[in-house]
Structure 1
Amino acid sequence: MAEKIVLDCDPGHDDAIALLLAHGDPGIELLAVTTVVGNQTLAKVTRNALSVATMAGITGVPFAAGADRPLLREIEVAADIHGESGLDGPELPEPAFGVVGAHAVDLIVETVLAHEPGTVTLVPTGGLTNIALAARRAPEIVERVKRVVLMGGGVGVGNRTAVAEFNIAIDPEAADIVFSAGWEVVMVGLDLTHQAVAGPEVREAIRAVGTGPARFVDELLDFFAGTYRDVQGFDAPPVHDPCAVAHVIDPTVVRAVPVPLVVETTGRYTTGMTVADLRGPAPEGCRTYAARELDHGRFWDLVVGALTRIGDPTVAAPVAAPVAAPVVASEQPA
């Protein structure tokens, strides 16, 4: 049976690919897409998500805008990696539909409560503000969610700082809430996603699909490759966020092991660090996991397969749910 997910994202080049993978793989039932400030402002990443959905023909899935700022800290974006739009590089179509009237946090809660316990997985690929707010707003969802599979953090590696990954660093307080809530958390961090590089053979396979969405991904990777080369010195770009979706599709492609994990929120040099206790076997009942090993070839086969299935869709029709005129919600729920 397909895994039911809510994708919480901040597109973002790799978020866009994660959305396409979730849409195009038969192992995923995409219940909802929510957006959060992160790679760019909430207005920009929400528009990007709607544009990608329009390009890929994603219909019947509600989209909702969420938190426009971290819980406590100032907004930080990643224009150095993703550009001023958040999706610099390809030409983006105008969105064919808008967001639903509900705030993303409310949509997350409503979606979890509308399905049987243990059937909905939350897949956040940006900062964890929406997920933390949902857990605090409706604590009853914690025992109903199947698991949280997030892209963020890392075991002993950072990119925003020496030890902190961007998604965790921009809202460490939210990350602390999510990691300590008591539900099962799978951290797909940098030590895993840095294995998911889009080298020449990957680019060739994507171009060979020959469709509009595949050309869009190739253009995304052109820009992404340039910024990762210039800013972080990579020969080929690591494509982080689809790794979280791939773990949900097939845990043998993105393999995770139980590891006690906590988030540092007060360290002078270590705020945002995901601290993994590797001193011995995880204690019985450990509910936090770290992804450590990627099957590179099978991972990219999933992405290319999803692009092939998407085909060359026409412009997406509006979703079935009523849509609101504003692209973003202006206030976070209490």
Structure 2
Amino acid sequence: MKQRTKVIIDTDVDFDDYMAIVYLMQNPEVEVIAISVTGCGAVHLNKGVANVANLLTLFGKDALSLPVLRGAKAPMRYSNVFPADVRTGADDHYAAEFPGINPTPQIHDAQTWLRDFFLNNDDKVTLLSIGGGTNFGNLFLTTQSDDVLKQKILSGLEQIVMMGGNLLPRYISPGAMGNIEPTLGDNIIYRNTVAEWNIFVDPLGAQTMFEFGVPIRLIALNATNDVPLDQSFVDDLKAINTPQAQFLSAVLAYPSNAAGIGTYLSFWDPLAACTITDPSLVTTDIYKLIVWQELDEEDDQSASLVVDTLNGAPIEVAVAASKDAVYAEFLRVLSLPLPDTK
């Protein structure tokens, strides 16, 4: 029997994070060993931790003790946040009902748990980063004064699959612009047309992850734009009569999410999750990248990806994806029975 891929999920518990988490928890080829939560993105930290702990009730008794890691409240740089209405929806888990309240949530401090895990565990693990770079950026930063921890993380963390960023038209044709302004709407303080949300929330966190030395597959907007969230997918998902599929259908039926079906929503985080077991779903190329850090309120380029052949870190970037294949893979896994965890 093929060994299951061990995965740590780092999430800001947005609607598409639920899709990614459920897909991986349902996938018999994957063993999720911990879920770390950041309060720097869509959800507030306390709500996000509680929501993830209660989400585990979808997956049977054995899942209730999965470690839920309480991460950062603030990013490493700047204070970029989602609009209040987005955060309210995420906090309220988009009015989708959990099967129950987790009676035995195993909640840990993220930095303490992650440090102990890497120091005391020799398993190879994959990180799915779908909530910005703050939690692991902070972890990686601590290794500047702890070489033992750094070497243990470098040997234990096999790869990072990260949803984030975009390659602009000046680097690739057709290229992809950012996705900040469509979400902000009337809340725009200064214009930024070039950044993607996960990296915009904490550009220093993302840069710290880029520089650390673990191989990264970056699922950029260039690829996720090829997989819009269409009504046909929503209908097919709703037709799957399992608690997991019905929960996700309820999340997608939340008014602000439903309004984006077939218009501006894409398969952001679930595409990243799907590539963990099937990298062929995306087309990739290697770019040497830095995350632009400087904020300019007149012409803001902060959090944009800059190709820098001298100083950039080599990153495998997903630049295209197969919509039909991605839909088929996601729906296939959601149609499976829960994997045997014993």
Tell me the TM-score range normalised by the shorter chain: 0.7 to 0.9
Say if 1:82 and 1:41 are closer, same or farther in 2 by CA, change over 3 A: closer
Which residue of the partner structure matches residue 288 of structure 2? Answer: 260
Say if 1:221 and 1:274 are closer, same or farther in 2 by CA, change over 3 A: same
In 1, Cα distance between equivalents of 2:78 and 2:101 = 30
- Tell whether the 8 Å contact from 2:210 to 2:216 is kept in structure 1 after alignment: yes
Which residue of the partner structure matches residue 290 of structure 1? Answer: 317
Q: Deviations over 1:144-186 (max 9, x none)?
A: 2111111111112211231111111111111111111122111
Query: Residue 122 of structure 2 aligns to a residue in which SS?
Result: coil
User: Could you tell me which amino acid in structure 1 is paired with residue 221 of structure 2?
Assistant: L
In 1, Cα distance between equivalents of 2:285 and 2:196 = 19
Query: Residue 227 of structure 2 aligns to a residue in which SS?
Result: coil
Which residue of the partner structure matches residue 329 of structure 1? Answer: none
Query: Residue 289 of structure 1 aligns to a residue in which SS?
Result: strand
**Which deviates more, 17-26 or 200-209?**
200-209
- Tell whether the 8 Å contact from 1:39 to 1:79 is kept in structure 2 after alignment: no
1:103 to 109, 125, 129: 109
Say if 1:203 and 1:151 are closer, same or farther in 2 by CA, change over 3 A: same
Which residue of the partner structure matches residue 328 of structure 1? Answer: none
Which residue of the partner structure matches residue 159 of structure 2? Answer: 147
In 2, Cα distance between equivalents of 1:125 and 1:155 = 18
In 2, Cα distance between equivalents of 1:217 and 1:45 = 16
Say if 1:179 and 1:209 are closer, same or farther in 2 by CA, change over 3 A: same
- Tell whether the 8 Å contact from 2:289 to 2:314 is kept in structure 1 after alignment: no
In 1, Cα distance between equivalents of 2:120 and 2:33 = 11
Say if 1:82 and 1:238 are closer, same or farther in 2 by CA, change over 3 A: farther
Say if 1:78 and 1:8 are closer, same or farther in 2 by CA, change over 3 A: farther
Q: What TM-score does the superposition give when structure 1 sets the normalisation length?
A: 0.82
User: Could you tell me which amino acid in structure 2 is paired with residue 216 of structure 1?
Assistant: F
* 1:34 counterpart = 2:61: no
Say if 1:89 and 1:256 are closer, same or farther in 2 by CA, change over 3 A: farther
TM-superposed deviation, 1:235: 2.2
TM-superposed deviation, 1:206: 0.9
- Tell whether the 8 Å contact from 1:112 to 1:120 is kept in structure 2 after alignment: no
- Size of the aligned set, in residue pairs, is 304
Q: Between the two structures, name the one with larger relative contact order (CA 8 Å, sep ≥ 6).
A: 1
Query: Residue 68 of structure 1 aligns to a residue in which SS?
Result: coil
* 1:10 counterpart = 2:46: no
What does 1:1-334 align with in structure 2 at a 5 Å threshold? 1-37=3-39, 38-57=41-60, 58-74=63-79, 76-81=81-86, 83-86=88-91, 87-97=93-103, 99-116=105-122, 119-138=124-143, 139-144=150-155, 145-156=157-168, 157-160=177-180, 161-223=192-254, 225-228=257-260, 235=263, 237-268=265-296, 269-276=300-307, 287-310=314-337
Say if 1:169 and 1:47 are closer, same or farther in 2 by CA, change over 3 A: same
TM-superposed deviation, 1:137: 2.2
Q: What TM-score does the superposition give when structure 2 sets the normalisation length?
A: 0.80
TM-superposed deviation, 1:195: 2.2
Provide the identity percentage. 22
Say if 1:291 and 1:312 are closer, same or farther in 2 by CA, change over 3 A: closer
TM-superposed deviation, 1:141: 4.1
TM-superposed deviation, 1:312: 12
Which residue of the partner structure matches residue 172 of structure 2? Answer: none
Query: Residue 26 of structure 1 aligns to a residue in which SS?
Result: coil
User: Could you tell me which amino acid in structure 1 is paired with residue 34 of structure 2?
Assistant: A
TM-superposed deviation, 1:259: 1.1
Query: Residue 179 of structure 2 aligns to a residue in which SS?
Result: coil
In 1, Cα distance between equivalents of 2:292 and 2:313 = 19
Say if 1:80 and 1:16 are closer, same or farther in 2 by CA, change over 3 A: same
Query: Residue 5 of structure 1 aligns to a residue in which SS?
Result: strand
- Tell whether the 8 Å contact from 2:28 to 2:339 is kept in structure 1 after alignment: no
- Tell whether the 8 Å contact from 1:213 to 1:312 is kept in structure 2 after alignment: no
Q: Deviations over 1:211-270 (max 9, x none)?
A: 2221111121222543536xxxx5263121111111111110133221111101114111
**Which deviates more, 101-110 or 20-29?**
101-110
More helix by share: 2
**Which deviates more, 67-76 or 97-106?**
97-106
CA RMSD of aligned residues (A): 2.7
- Tell whether the 8 Å contact from 2:13 to 2:90 is kept in structure 1 after alignment: no
In 2, Cα distance between equivalents of 1:303 and 1:203 = 12
In 1, Cα distance between equivalents of 2:16 and 2:83 = 13
User: Could you tell me which amino acid in structure 2 is paired with residue 243 of structure 1?
Assistant: L
In 1, Cα distance between equivalents of 2:160 and 2:245 = 28
In 2, Cα distance between equivalents of 1:11 and 1:195 = 23
